Copies of this chain bind each other. A is one copy, B any other.
Amino acid sequence: MKNLNIEFEFLKSALATDSLINSNVAIQSWLKSMNENANTRVEQIPLDKLRQWSIEPDTGSVVHDSGKFFSIEGIKVETNWSNLTQWEQPIINQPEIGYLGILVQRRNGVLHFLMQGKIEPGNVNVVQISPTLQATKSNYTQVHKGRRPLFLEYFNGEKKVRVLLDQLQSEQGARFLRKRNRNIIAELPENESIDLPENFMWVTLGQLKQLIKYDNLVNMDTRTVISGIPFGSFSTNILSFFLALNHNSQINGRLLNSALNNEVYLNSFEQIISWITGLKSRYDLKVTPKPLKSMSDWRFDGNSINHKEGKYFSVIGVNVEIGNREVVSWDQPMITPAQEGLIAFIVKEIQGVYHFLAQAKLESGNFDVIELAPTVQCLTGNYRTGFNEYSVMFIDDVLQARPENVWYSALQSEEGGRFFKEQNRNLIVEVKDDFPIEVPEKYCWMTLNQLSSFIVFNNYLNIAARSLISAICF
C-alpha cells in the first residue's frame, strides 16, 4: 500500500523554498502579461438562439446538435434525507469522463508542475491557472472539430510516462448528474525536454498552493487534481523526529502532523467507514428524468431557464469570443448562480492533532447517495435575510470567527467552462475549546491524513471539500 518514493517527492515539492525554476515574481508577471494580451468577449443571448444548440420541443432539454458534448435536462429527486423530500431541477448531463491532467518533471531535484494559463468564458478573472491538459471526451475525440488538445499524448498512453496519480473524482453534485473526471499526474523523464508554449509555466506544488491564497487565480480543475496528492503516513515517533529536525523552518508542523500522522485520531478508520455505511443504508436518493417543460417551479422565459422565485441558479445562453493571438468563437449554455456560495471547514485540535469537521452531504447528482463535504456548504441566500428557508448548521462559527482563527479565506471560481462567474467564499476556520467535540449525526471529525485516505477511492470527498483541501499549505 505504500509508495513512499512518490509521496516524498510530492512533499518535497510542497515544502521547497529554493530550487525553484521560476520565482514568484516571474509567475506573477507571466499571469499579468497573459491577462493584458487576452481577448475575451462573452455576451448573453437567448437560449433558443444558440448556434449548434437547440431546445428539444418535447422535453425542453437544451442539447447540442451532435448529440454529444453535454445537455441541460430535467430531473425529479426523491429522498428521505431531510424535510425537503422531493424537488425538481435542471441539471447538466455530461455522461463522459474527461481528463484533468498535470505533467510534472523533476527539475533542480524538485518536482515542478506544468501549468497552463487558460481563459474560460465563465472566468471572473480572465486567465486562470489550469492543468496541463483539460479535455472532455468530445474535445479529445474532436467531435466539434477543434484542434487536438496540447500534451494529450502524455495522458492517453501514446507517450511513455510514469503515472504518479490517477483518480476518478466527482464534480458538483447539485449541478452535474453523476459527472466524474479522471485526475492524472504524469511524470516526464528528467532528461526529456519539451517545447513550452508561452501560456505554460513550471511551478512547484508549494508555489501553486501559495497562488490558491489569491481570489479566483487557480481554477477548480487544478484544485481538484492537487487535492488528491498523497504525502504518506507516519507514526507519531517518526514525525516528531522529522519535525524536530525542521523546527527552525517555516513549516507548519501542526498541520503537517494532521496530514501525515496515522496514529492519533478521534475516530478510527473503521468507525468512519461505519458512519458512512450507516448513512448510506438509512437514506435513499432516487433520481428520475422529468421534462424541464413540465416543471412548475422552473420555466424558460424566452431568454433563460429560471426558478420561479429567482432562487438557486439559471441556465443562460452565451456567445463567446476568446483568444490570445488566435480568436475562436462559439455559443453554449452556461449555469449562472443566484447568489455567491460559501464553503468552509471547521478545524479543531483534538488529542493534539488538528481534526476537520466533515459533513455527509446528499446532492441530487451524487453517484452514491452521499459524499463527504465541508462543514458548511451553502448558497449565501440560504442564510442572508430575504430567503432564509432553513438554518445552516455551524454558519455562525464560520462567519463570526475571530480574524486570528481564520486560516484561509479566498473567493474561488467553479469551472469556467460550464459556470458563469460562479464563485464561492472558501474558508478554513479554527475553533477552540468552547466548540464541542460531540457533533450531530451527519458530521464527523477526521484528521487530514484520514481525509486523504478516502480521497483516492472514487466518490468519497465532494469537490467542495477537495477545493478546500487543495489550499492547505504546510
**Residues of chain A having any CB pair with chain B under 8 Å:** 1-3, 6, 95, 97, 163-168, 182, 230, 233, 262-263, 268-271, 273-274, 277-278, 280-281, 284, 286, 367-368, 449-450, 453, 456-460
Give the distance to chain B from A439, nearest Cβ to Cβ, in Å.
17
Q: How far is the CA of A277 from the CA of B450 in the complex (A)?
A: 21
User: From residue A333, how far is it (CB to closest CB) to chain B in Å?
Assistant: 23
Contacts of A165 in B (CB 8 A): 270, 274
Q: A3-B268, A165-B270, A166-B278 are in contact. List 11 more A-B contacts (CB 8 A).
A: A2-B269, A3-B269, A6-B270, A164-B270, A166-B273, A166-B274, A182-B277, A182-B281, A277-B458, A280-B458, A368-B459
Which residue among A280, A449, A460 has the maximum number of chain B CB atoms within 10 Å of its CB?
A280
Cβ of A167 and Cβ of B273 under 8 Å apart? yes
CA distance A182 to B280 in the complex (A): 9
- With a cutoff of 8 Å between Cβ atoms, the chain B residues found around residue A450 in the complex are 1
Using Cβ atoms and an 8 Å threshold, which residues of chain B touch A278? 166, 182
Copies of the polypeptide in the assembly: 2
Q: How far is the CA of A473 from the CA of B95 in the complex (A)?
A: 43
A55, chain B: closest CB distance, angstroms: 23
Shortest distance between the CB of A233 and any CB in chain B (Å): 7
Q: Which residues of B contact A458 (CB under 8 A)?
A: 277, 280, 368
**A163 close to B280 (CB less than 8 A):** no
Known A-B contacts A97-B280, A368-B367; the reply to A1 vs B274 at CB < 8 A is no
Within the complex, which residue of B1, B6, B270, B271 is in contact with A449, where a contact is CB–CB below 8 Å? Answer: B1
In angstroms, how far is the closest chain B Cβ from the Cβ of A372? 13
A166-B1 contact given A182-B281, A281-B182, A368-B458, CB 8 Å threshold: no
Minimal beta-carbon separation of A433 from chain B (angstroms): 27
The smallest beta-carbon distance between A270 and chain B, in angstroms, is 5
Contact B163 A262 (CB under 8 A): no
A449 CA / B281 CA spacing, docked (Å): 27
CB A276 to nearest CB in B, in angstroms, measures 8
Most buried by B among A281, A284, A449, A460: A281
- Contact partner, A163, options B6, B97, B269, B271, Cβ 8 Å: B271
Tell me the smallest distance from the CB of A374 to a CB of chain B, in Å: 21
**Most chain B beta carbons < 10 A, residue from A2, A280, A459:** A2
Can you offer 27 A-B residue contacts whose CB atoms are under 8 A?
A: A1-B262, A1-B269, A1-B449, A1-B450, A2-B263, A2-B268, A2-B269, A3-B268, A3-B269, A6-B270, A163-B270, A164-B270, A165-B270, A166-B270, A166-B273, A166-B274, A166-B278, A168-B277, A168-B280, A168-B281, A182-B277, A182-B278, A230-B270, A269-B456, A277-B458, A367-B368, A368-B458
Q: B3 near A270 (CB under 8 angstroms)?
A: yes
A182's nearest neighbour on chain B, judged by CB, is B281
Cβ–Cβ contact A163 & B274, under 8 A: yes
Task: Output the nearest chain B residue to A449 by Cβ-Cβ distance.
Answer: B1
With a CB–CB cut-off of 8 A, which chain B residues contact A271? 163
Contact B167 A277 (CB under 8 A): yes
Q: Which residue of B lies closest to A169 (CB)?
A: B277
Measured CB to CB, the nearest residue on chain B to A367 is B368
Specify which chain B residues have a CB less than 8 angstroms from the CB of A164 in the assembled complex: 270
* Inter-chain contact B166/A277, CB cutoff 8 Å: yes
CB nearest neighbor in B for A456: B273
Distance (Å) between the CB of A38 and the closest chain B CB? 32
Instruction: Report the bound CA distance from A368 to B269 in whole Å.
Output: 23
Residue of B nearest to A460 (CB): B457
In angstroms, Cα B274 to Cα A167, docked, is 6
User: Which chain B residue shows the least CB distance to A263?
Assistant: B2
Q: Is the CB of B2 within 8 A of A262?
A: yes
3 nearest CB pairs, A to B: A166-B274, A97-B281, A457-B457
In angstroms, Cα B459 to Cα A262, docked, is 25
The chain B residue sitting closest to A6, CB to CB, is B270
Complex contacts, A1 vs chain B, CB 8 Å: 233, 262, 269, 449-450, 453
A268 to B162, CA, bound (A): 12
**Chain B residues, Cβ within 8 Å of A456:** 269, 273
Within the complex, the shortest CB–CB distance from A163 to chain B, in Å, comes to 5
Residues of B within 8 A of A262 (CB): 1-2
